[in-house]
Chains A and B, each alone.
Chain A
Amino acid sequence: QQPVQSPQAVILREGEDAVINCSSSKALYSVHWYRQKHGEAPVFLMILLKGGEQKGHEKISASFNEKKQQSSLYLTASQLSYSGTYFCGTGTSGNTPLVFGKGTRLSVIA
């Protein structure tokens, strides 16, 4: 079942913050976050496996709620290089393929 991502698109000025959400109607095994630039393959950002987990670094981080049905990606003090489409991919077990959300198009302008 495809996870629901929101917002669909967002435009930021350099230095602004953004939050991208990814939700599922069922508890998940894992949530993966990827960023894709136009014409390129997705680039891995991070995985969350545990309920209540938060990880990442100062500028880009993510959380996974206790019920493991919702994850958020936090982009802080955005840079021009953050522009791209962000996808969350969800897994229902350790060996299943990921099902990706429809993506969130992020545009950072100067």
Chain B
Amino acid sequence: GAVVSQHPSWVICKSGTSVKIECRSLDFQATTMFWYRQFPKQSLMLMATSNEGSKATYEQGVEKDKFLINHASLTLSTLTVTSAHPEDSSFYICSARDGEGAPGGELFFGEGSRLTVL
């Protein structure tokens, strides 16, 4: 099946710094990628939809200036957590559908990135 790769797998940073997380579709092109956040023992909450070549669409309550999303190519989307604070500590997961697949098809997830802000 299709592969989505995420990097880094985990990162620890100091409060106030910025962290960039990369999400790559390795064997398919993804015009759209989705970023989710998951707090411990909770569900996956959609943060934003990343659109190749255009601005991301953010869910209500997600600060677009804090969570910068860039989808510069058909295989790469990045999420930058700016001026991170301890409450931003979470598991961030990206996902994508194979653009050649049927609508509503399987959502392929990256491995996830665990962010800890000290």
Contacts and interface: CB of A to CB of B under 8 A. Distances in A.
Contact of B104 (A39, A44, A93): A93
Interface of B: 1, 32, 34, 36, 42-46, 49, 93, 95, 97, 102-112, 114
B31 to A, nearest CB: 9
Majority secondary structure, A binding face: loop
B112 A41 contact: yes
Band of interface residues on A: 20 to 34
A95 B95 CA distance: 13
Given A40-B112, A41-B93, A41-B112, A98 B43 contact: no
A95 B42 CA distance: 24
Contact of B105 (A2, A42, A47, A93): A47
A87 interface: yes
Contacts of A42: 44, 93, 109
